[in-house]
Amino acid sequence: MLNKYARAFFTRVLTPFAAFLIRRGVSPDTVTLLGTAGVVAGALVFFPRGEFFWGTVVITLFVFSDLVDGNMARQLGRSSRWGAFLDSTLDRVADSAIFGGLALWYAGGGDDNVLCAVSIFCLASGQVVSYTKARGESIGLPVAVNGLVERAERLVISLVAAGFAGLHKFGVPGIQYLLPVALWIVAVGSLVTLLQRVVTVRRESAEAEAEAAARQEEAAS
C-alpha cells in the first residue's frame, strides 16, 4: 500500500527537484550513491549513541534520494539494468545500516540483548525477504504476492518509531517504548512476509511444472 500510494505522491512532489538536479548536470547514479552514504552515516553515527531523533532526521532527508534518482532517470529516458541493479543493491546497504545501528545501540548503551537480537533479525529477515522475490523471479516465476511488511513498511514503522522515541531526550516521558514495539512489529511482519513469499513461490513452481508436464504430454500425443 505504501509503495503504491506514498511513492506516487512523493514522486509528484519531488519531480521539480529532480528536474533541477538534471539541469545542474547531476546524474541519477550520483544521487543514489550520495543518498545511500547519507543514510549509512545517519544510522551509524547517531543510532549507536541513542540519538534517535537526529539520526532519523538525517536518514529521512537522504531516504528520499531513492525516489529522486528514479525520477531523474525517467526524465532523462535513461532507465537501465545497471541503474536498477545499483539502486536495489544500495537499498540493501542502507537497510542494513539502519537496523545495524539500532542493534549496536542495544548491544551497548541500550543494554538490551533481546532487542539487539530483534534488531539483527529485522536486518537479516529484510535481506531474505528481498532475496526470495529476486530469486523467484530469476527462475521465471512472477512471485505475485503483496507481502504484509515490505521495505517501505519496514522503513516507515522503524524510522517513525525511532524519531518519536528520540523525543525522550527532550523530556517527553514514556515515548522511548515506541521503538521496541516497532521492532517487534517489523520482526513479526517480516517473518510473515517471508512465509507468504515462500508459499507463493512453492505454489507458482508447482503450477509451472504442471503446465510444462501437460504441454509435454500434449506434444507427445
Active site (annotated) includes residue 91: yes
End-to-end CA distance of the chain: 47
69 is in an annotated binding site: yes
Q: Which residues contact 121 (CB under 8 A, 6 or more apart)?
A: 187, 190
Q: How many CB atoms are closer than 10 A to CB 65? A: 25
Q: What are the cell numbers at 52?
A: 534517535
Is the alpha carbon torsion for 209, 192, 39, 71 positive or negative?
positive
Q: Is there a binding annotation on residue 60?
A: no
Confirm or deny that 132 is annotated as ligand binding: no
Helices (H), the chain: 7-23, 28-46, 52-63, 65-76, 81-107, 113-138, 151-165, 178-220
Q: How far apart are CA 7 and CA 159, in angstroms?
A: 16
Considering 91, 95, 111, 112, which one is annotated as catalytic?
Answer: 91
The radius of gyration of the chain from alpha carbons, rounded to an integer in Å, stands at 20
**Does 32 appear as a known binding residue?**
yes
- Binding residue per annotation — 95? no
Cα–Cα distance between 194 and 180 in angstroms, integer?
A: 21
Q: Is 40 annotated as a binding residue?
A: no
80 is in an annotated binding site: yes
Residue 29 in marked binding region: yes
Residue 31 assigned as binding residue: yes
- Binding site: which residues? 29-32, 66, 69-70, 74, 80, 87, 91
Residues annotated as catalytic (active site), given as ranges: 91
Annotated binding-site residue numbers for Mg(2+):
66, 69, 87, 91
- Binding positions for a CDP-1,2-diacyl-sn-glycerol: 29-32, 70, 74, 80
